[in-house]
Structure formats: C-alpha cells, structure tokens
Amino acid sequence: MFHIGRSVVMKDTLKYLLTLPPEEGFIMTTKSEIQQLLQCLWSLEYHNAGLSATAELSKASEVMNDLEANVREFKVLDNEENRLCSQWFACRKRKDNLKRKSKS
C-alpha cells in the first residue's frame, strides 16, 4: 500500500468511487468513509515526505561538516607545505653559498 505505484492506483480508485452516483450502491456514509481514507493517505504521504526530507537534510549536514573539516585540514597542510618549502629553499641557498665558499 505504501509503495508509490500502488498508492497512486489506490488513490485513483478511491477518487473514482467518490464519483459514482448513489444508484450504484454508494451511499453518502460510504463516500464519507472513502473521503476520510483518502485524507489519511494524503496525510501519511505528507508525513513520510517530511521524514524523508529530514533524513536527507541530516545527510547533507553531515556532508557539509565533513567538507568543512576537510577544508580546515587542507589549510593546515597547505601552511605546513609552505613552511617546509621555505625551509627547503633556505637550506638550498645555504648549501649553494657553502659550495661557492668552498670553491674559493
């Protein structure tokens, strides 16, 4: 019943039953019950859609938190790389200076 294809067929059938004239055997109380059933189905679908949306928002929030953590980690690693590159260039410069001095 809660499968999307089945619920559409069921709702369409119930809507059709509401259009039948009284001489077809559908008295007002029966139509009233069918109308209440349709309202329950719509309410249930609305509720399920809300739960699904909440779950998706929760997943999206987790992804955003992970992304923010990755950005922070990237910045830390980028700073560390820059620091190490600066040290490497300084060492390279010192080495070249020592080589020049040793040749002189």
The span from the CA of 73 to the CA of 80, in Å, is 11
* Number of Cβ within a 10 Å radius of residue 29: 8
pLDDT tens by residue, 12-51 = 888 888 887 777 666 777 888 888 888 888 788 888 888 8
Q: Which two tokens stand for residue 45?
A: 């679908």
Q: Where are the domains of the chain?
A: 4-103
pLDDT tens by residue, 50-88 = 888 999 999 999 999 999 999 999 999 999 999 999 999
* Number of Cβ within a 10 Å radius of residue 25: 8
Phi and psi at residue 68, to the nearest 5° = -65, -40
